[in-house]
Amino acid sequence: MNPRNVAVVGATGLVGRKMLETLEKRDFPIRTIKLLASERSRGKTLPFRGEQLPVEVLTETSFKGVEIALFSAGGGTSKKFAPCAAKDGCVVVDNSSAWRMDPEVPLVVPEVNPHEIKKHKGIIANPNCSTIQMVVVLKPLHDRARITRVVVSTYQAVSGAGNKALDELYKQIQDVLQGKEPTCEVFPHPIAFNCIPQIPQSDAFQSNGYTTEEMKMVNETKKIMGDDSIRMTATTVRVPVHTGHSESVNIETVEKLTAAEAREILRKAPGVVVMDDPSKQQYPLAIHAAGKGETFVGRIREDISHPRALDMWIVADNLLKGAALNAVQIAELL
């Protein structure tokens, strides 16, 4: 790969920092790099390859000479500044939800649909974290037996809501253990020792009773898999885990797949690690996935209520494969 001029937008955030770490760990070829953030981050520095690099304030002219920009600064920022970057000849890999369902913007998971990258017109969307880890597992099974229906329930880590959410979790845990009433600012209810079936926490439910997160999973999965005929439903839940989203997934297929066949297919799938030996209590856990780039799958079993269905448990680091790593993998393909 030839060295590129790179920018990271939202560099001081949780995912932005992970993007920098991932670029460094994967030895991405960089000629120059800009760290960009809002006015609040003016004067800050961040470590990268043994140096402390200054954080610049993001403006509409920040992208002159930049070839690839990784965005993780929220949908509003992406809507405003991604077109500016694209206009200056930069290719944007955007981690927000701003462009995911735009028919002109590829929605890419490199293990699943890398060919879509060629269709970009300056912007490529990084999917939702929960969607990414699920489709990495589902695509090879879909290719073999064609999935017709998916039922997923997620158990999503607090880090997916950012630094303030993690601070709230820690503070609430301390308050509860000290017998105090926990206060809520980020979440609508206490997250310490609790589960909240509402992601994102600030959004109202849609008219169909689903959250935006649930509908993201439904719509993004169909777009990434390239199959609008897949029927899907989702329930997304925030749980008091630091890092690592977990998912209970049930799939129905046209052709019957045994659990053994599914394991064999997934052992050969890129980016997937099969961890499935219940007799030894071996199955994926969030603590296994944290800090790792692979997607882990286990508890693979044949659904006793349906002749052509499988149940499985899928876990991945939401900050890495669910965000920063997937974006850097896209940049590598570019």
Catalytically annotated residues: 129, 245
E strand or H helix at 307: none
Task: From residue 77, give the alpha-carbon distance in Å to each of 37, 59, 72, 88, 215.
Answer: 10, 10, 9, 17, 22
Sequence-separated (6 or more) residues with CB below 8 Å from residue 80? none
Choose among 105, 109, 148, 98: nearest CA to 131.
109
Q: What angle do CA 53, 290, 3 make, to 5 degrees?
A: 40
Residues 159, 175 contacting (CB under 8 angstroms): no
89: left (phi over 0), alpha (psi -120 to 50) or beta: left
Sequence-separated (6 or more) residues with CB below 8 Å from residue 178? none
Decide the pairing of beta strands 45-48 and 51-57. Answer: antiparallel
